Chains A and B, each alone.
Chain A
Amino acid sequence: MTQSSDVDQVLLPTPRVRGRRPSVWRGFFGNKKAALGFGIFMVFVLMAVFAPVLAPYNPQATQFIPFQGPSWHHWFGTTATGQDVLSQLIVGSRVSLGIGISAGIMATSLAIVLGMLPAYLGGRTDTLFNTMTNIMLVIPGLPLLIVITAYIHQTETWTLALVMGLTGWAWGARVLRSQTLTYVRRDFVVAARLAGASHWHILIHEILPNMLSLVIANLMFGTLGAVLAAASLQFLGLGNPNSISWGTMLFWAQIGQALLNGAWWWLVAPGAAIALFGASMALMNFGVDELTNPRLRQARRASKQFGKPHQGRPNN
């Protein structure tokens, strides 16, 4: 009785049609931080793709006067052996971005499988995988990578990417798992299961699309982490020092005592490239965060446009 006198229920004989949400992409580019991050990211991608055309000199050629400061001919100066830093930076973006992005994709794919599937299946499988994920999370990643690459000895680029992909999935798996758990009992998933849809169908078509923003965030964090870790390993001389990447540039700069010779440009250029690329990932991720979590962005409008003293935030 009491239920049927509920105003909401008697008033909804026809289904309510919700307006489609504004396109995610429009929202993404409407967000200043995300757009800036995407802009920087695209500059790097284009740089990597067109590296051979863009690089002014052969990055390996040792034909210039060593330790030249930035000039019109050498925007970012030259190295101890007379190589052009800008050319190395441009060509090096291929390996650095390649490792970062492929390790990011690999780690994210693993995170999707190892995070979602056990959570969906539940029971002991879930307990087991969850424990495994948590262990992987707490074991310090960079020292582990150092140990592994030290055994491998002068790790080739793709091995490096592989190792980082295989060790970098835990964070994502954990986040995706907890999100999956909240979906498993939802009506649309239960309905799909009752309708006889297969597990894979449900996971891929019903649950995954709802977690797209998490997957994207994970991809960006994974890539950022991999770029930083790869640079660290290469800086320590654990990569292949003969390949050209931002990390090996830093390695050679350190070996060539760039700072003691006052050649700050040799160090600043690759480091700044890593930081800038990483920042583009972080900015895009921040944008996605603001998009998917309305609370993070709400106050802004209110305080800007309708800034009466009593709105916006509590008691102040």
Chain B
Amino acid sequence: MIEQEPILSLKDVSVQYDSGPEPVTVVRNVFLDVYPQEILGLIGESGSGKSTLAYTAMRLLKHASMTSGSVRIAGRDIYAMKHEELRQFRWAEVSMAFQTAMNALNPVMTVGEQILDTLKSHQTLTREEGIERAQELLQLVRLNPDTLQRYPHELSGGMRQRVVIAISIALSPKLVIMDEPTTGLDVVIQRTILDEIVEIQRRQHFAILFISHDFQLVSTLAQRVAIMYAGKIVEVTAGATLHDPTALHHPYTEGLIRAVPRLSDDQATAIGIPGNPPDPRDFPKGCAYADRCSLVQRVCREQPPELRMTGSSLIACHVVQQREAKQYGI
């Protein structure tokens, strides 16, 4: 898998918001590759910059700008494209299912018109062909074909989310970015939709960048998981290692694992991580997690750690990297 060309490649990406009284950097020097056909989970709490990263990858930032780095999709630098080129390229190669399906659909247009718009913006096809394709898409997400004539407000939250997913796979893209696609839905519907997503993904062979703050969900769904903290990627690891007690992890990841309650215990106990992420306006010189870390050492406060292959994962932590080095006597 590693030998392949990545479908999405973020290199040294930093993003700052310009709308407040002073610019605020929310994504810091992120490197991340997504390979064809894989599901890569991106975990982080609100404000960690994960959604911003998704918008950056789609070149959809508003009131924010990429201050460094590059974004390549299928080998092409999307920030070098002209607008019309970008418009044609975007949904065909990479699409995005929005976090708030509630608001992602135009309230005054029928579902059918909104799907047709997607198709017609990229292909030349007759209305009949378009409707036929739209019905296929709806069937794929298990919606009744007559949903075409319905307006968004007539649909339930789950149905709306399915419509958004249908639109996102309309042009058979190579990568679908899913930004918390099940937030706001009840647990049962969440599960059903996730199963459907996985099933469609297996059939259509696209890659998914799955963004969520639900640690357990991502760790079971994704083949690889990237963990984001305060605008930085602190670890990239195989999903399976999150369930392997012997695997090495970033202390933040360890904290997340400990925070998941275990059914096997007599009592479901979850241990939180004390403290808060740093204020992005007053970002520490060293490791952003240092203030909350139980392993913190002096070097952590002086120098920012970098992502390095540590054990079987990429981890950005001085302490874990040192331990690993000692263990193997390097």
Contact = CB atoms under 8 A, between A and B. Distances in A.
Contacts of B16: 306
Nearest to A19: B279
Nearest to A304: B18
A8 interface: yes
B19 A298 contact: yes
Given A302-B65, A306-B18, A7 B79 contact: no
Nearest to A307: B65
B217 interface: yes
Interface stretch (A9-17, A94-102, A256-264): A9-17
Contact of B214 (A5, A16, A314, A316): A5
Interface string B24-55: 00000000000000000001111000000000
Interface in A1-56: 1-8, 10-14, 16, 22
Contact of A311 (B65, B215, B260, B263): B65
A1 B216 contact: yes
Label chain A's interface by main secondary structure.
loop
A36 B61 CA distance: 33
A7 B18 contact: no
Contacts of A315: 83, 87
Contact of B62 (A12, A14, A312): A312
Contacts of B214: 2, 5-7
Nearest to A16: B276
Label chain B's interface by main secondary structure.
loop
Interface in A260-310: 294, 298-299, 301-302, 305-306, 308-310
A79 to B, nearest CB: 52
A4 B261 contact: yes
A10 B256 contact: yes
Given A13-B274, A14-B275, A302-B64, A22 B21 contact: yes
B320 to A, nearest CB: 20
Contact of B19 (A7, A294, A310): A294
Contacts of A3: 187
B273 interface: yes
Interface of A: 1-8, 10-14, 16, 22, 294, 298-299, 301-302, 305-306, 308-316
Given A14-B276, A306-B18, A311-B64, 16 more contacts: A1-B263, A5-B261, A6-B215, A7-B45, A7-B256, A8-B213, A12-B272, A13-B273, A14-B274, A22-B21, A301-B18, A302-B65, A305-B18, A308-B65, A311-B61, A311-B62
29 contacts: A1-B216, A1-B263, A2-B190, A2-B216, A4-B261, A7-B45, A7-B213, A7-B259, A10-B272, A10-B273, A13-B272, A13-B273, A14-B276, A16-B276, A301-B63, A302-B19, A302-B63, A302-B64, A306-B16, A306-B65, A308-B65, A308-B66, A309-B83, A310-B61, A310-B79, A311-B18, A311-B62, A311-B65, A313-B62
Of all A-B residue pairs in the complex, the 10 with the closest CB atoms, nearest first, are: A5-B216, A10-B259, A13-B272, A7-B213, A298-B19, A306-B65, A302-B18, A7-B45, A5-B260, A298-B63
